[in-house]
Amino acid sequence: MEANQDELPPGDPAESLRMIAHERATTGRRLTPDPRLLLWPWGLAWLIGFGVYFLRFGPDEHVYVDMPQFLPLTLLLCLIAIAGIITGVVGARAGRQITGPTSRQGAMYGFTWSVAFSGMGVLLGRVSEVLPVPSANLLWAGSMVALTGALHMAGGAMWNDRVVYVLGVSISVVNVVGIIIGPGWHALIVAVFGGGGMLVAGLVSWLRMAR
């Protein structure tokens, strides 16, 4: 029987290298979660959640939209929880196809996020009780954003992902600028540049992966 043309070995070493590179790229895309599903839920959560914060607790305690004081924080935490569930499911599905140290790294990193935010939430809940509302809001928002930026930088360094690392640095810088400017403005700055930055980073990562 004659071999099918597709079954014949490549005619030269260069063609073999091109085929290997193509197969590696295809496998990488299949095993790598869509970055839009990892970053866009968080970007939307920040854009909406901190945006509502700004509308209720604006600069100099100005109220742009009258609503109960508990609503902005409750909405933000719910949106963050939803984003965490979405990214957790996406990461778990991708992790099922990978075994060994890489899989354990991913699981440990995801667990780190949960533990870090839980511990931070308990601490802030105790401390913020003795602070004025504007200062308490800034403490909650600034601490959570700082933790997010640090974890993004750690993840980018661990996975050698420059986009994620730069995103973490950008989040940290935006957070510091917002804290310096003060309550009210911090929420707006984080909503626009923090949440918007995640949306842009997700798009850039997806375009890079597609290429």
Distance CA 182, CA 186 (A): 6
Distance CA 167, CA 194 (A): 9
- State the pTM of this model: 0.76
Average pLDDT for residues 39-60, to the nearest whole number? 93
Q: Are 50 and 175 in contact (CB under 8 A)?
A: no
- What is the DSSP secondary-structure string of 20-58? HHHHHHHHHHHHSPPHHHHHHHHHHHHHHHHHHHHHHS-
Question: In the 3-class helix/strand/coil scheme, how is 83-139 assigned residue by residue?
Answer: HHHHHHHHHHHHHCCCCCHHHHHHHHHHHHHHHHHHHHHHHHHHHHHHCCHHHHHHH
* 31: CB partners within 8 A, 6+ apart: 94, 97, 98
Q: Which two tokens stand for residue 130?
A: 């003795």
Whole-number pLDDT of residue 173: 95
Nearest to 137 by CA among 62, 199, 80, 57: 57
Residues 91-116 pLDDT 10s: 667 656 655 666 677 677 778 888 88
Distance CA 73, CA 59 (A): 17
The residue ranking higher by pLDDT, 211 or 154, is 154
pLDDT band at 163 (very low <50, low <70, confident <90, very high): confident
Distance CA 12, CA 14 (A): 6
Residues 167-177 pLDDT 10s: 899 999 999 99
pLDDT band at 207 (very low <50, low <70, confident <90, very high): confident
* 107: CB partners within 8 A, 6+ apart: 95
Whole-number pLDDT of residue 167: 87
Distance CA 158, CA 183 (A): 33
Integer CA distances (angstroms), 156 to 37, 63, 79, 113, 164, in order: 17, 38, 23, 14, 5
